[in-house]
């Protein structure tokens, strides 16, 4: 396993981040525990979750599954950089969601209890809260930091200008501010290259891409359909039909390389500037092992150029659309 620093911090994290969103809804607790143990065996020390995972009436269940795994001891907590998120509503009453100082305090305490730990390594804001002033947000995060309940703060799904606003406000308070941004980023969805990646690079944020296979469409979907191993429905089917020619060209390229499409998609993200670790969210052990293969894939410049031809990206704004 290779490790890198999370943004401008001294924190070392693995080049793959274990996403846990499926733990509970799709993966039973014993299987989730085996996946986490196997992740450690392969050197993955960076785990991502959120307080709302478990969804619906089971919000918080995923954190509980991780907490029960930590409680088994054996260095599980000590070897893990645990990242969780807040923002989504955890109840029906006011102040049970978003980024008020009140909810930040309550949400953190609730996550600590479910995770059965005394601190969160990376506490991420799952979405921007346009009604909460940054002075309020940073004051609340500073209190949690001083109490030792959180170590670092990250963002998720922020625009580039929102990252800039957050960092400038934090700097005025002599606070470290954001150290990471978790964004939708993959070969098919490259909008963050316009402003989010440049902002992250400028302010020293590590980028943590989510949905690296674009909902499975970059994981060999056409071949799986032909083999009867996958049936695409709903929005995924609409996206597939819209981009079928490009996905077919991509799978043909992967076949030429002798590599699995999912491995190439992950390996490509690892070449991107500012990217720390793509999030892989396995439902099974086999899916985790498949993701680990990407670390052995080396993409030369010719292959990177061909990928850009199939899935054109963006230059930094404004050059992308202006002189």
Catalytic residues: 53
Alpha helices in 258-314 (DSSP H): 261-269, 285-292, 301-310
CA-based nearest residue to 213, from 230, 201, 198, 194: 230
Q: Please give the Cα distance from 15 to 85 (Å, whole number).
A: 20
Q: Please give the Cα distance from 229 to 161 (Å, whole number).
A: 42
Rg (CA), the chain: 20
**Residues 125 and 118 sit within 8 Å (Cβ to Cβ):** no
User: DSSP state, 27?
Assistant: B
The β-bridge partners of 280 are 18
Q: Please give the Cα distance from 274 to 286 (Å, whole number).
A: 29
From the number of C-beta atoms within 10 Å of its C-beta (0-12, 13-18, 19+), residue 17 rates as buried
Helix (H) / strand (E) containing 164:
helix 160-172
């Amino acid at each position: 396993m290779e490790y890198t620093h999370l943004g401008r911090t001294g924190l070392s994290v693995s080049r793959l981040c274990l996403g846990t969103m499926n733990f509970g809804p799709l993966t039973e607790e014993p299987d989730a525990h085996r996946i986490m143990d196997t992740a450690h065996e392969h050197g993955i020390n960076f785990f991502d979750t959120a307080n709302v995972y478990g969804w619906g009436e089971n919000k918080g269940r995923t954190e509980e599954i991780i907490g029960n795994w930590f409680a088994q001891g054996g260095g599980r907590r000590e070897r893990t950089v645990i990242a969780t998120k807040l923002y989504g509503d955890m109840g029906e009453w006011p102040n049970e969601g978003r980024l008020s100082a009140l909810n930040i305090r309550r949400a953190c305490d609730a996550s600590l209890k479910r995770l059965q730990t005394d601190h969160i390594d990376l506490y991420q804001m799952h979405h921007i809260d346009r009604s909460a002033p940054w002075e309020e947000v940073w004051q609340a995060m500073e209190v949690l930091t001083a109490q030792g309940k959180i170590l670092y703060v990250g963002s998720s799904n922020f625009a580039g200008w929102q990252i800039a606003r957050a960092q400038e406000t934090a700097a005025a308070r002599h606070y470290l501010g954001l150290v990471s941004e978790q964004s939708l980023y993959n070969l098919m969805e490259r909008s963050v290259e316009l402003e989010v990646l440049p902002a992250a690079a400028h302010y020293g944020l590590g980028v943590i891409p989510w949905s690296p296979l674009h909902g499975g469409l970059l994981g060999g979907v056409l071949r799986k359909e032909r083999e009867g191993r996958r049936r695409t429905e709903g929005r995924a089917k609409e996206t597939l039909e819209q981009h079928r020619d490009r996905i077919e060209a991509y799978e043909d390229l992967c076949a030429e390389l002798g590599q699995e499409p999912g491995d190439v998609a992950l390996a490509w993200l690892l070449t991107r500037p500012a990217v720390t670790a793509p999030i892989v969210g396995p439902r099974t052990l086999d899916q985790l092992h498949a993701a680990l293969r990407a670390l052995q894939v080396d993409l030369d410049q010719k292959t990177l150029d061909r990928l850009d031809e199939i899935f054109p990206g963006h230059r930094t704004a404004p050059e992308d659309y202006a002189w």
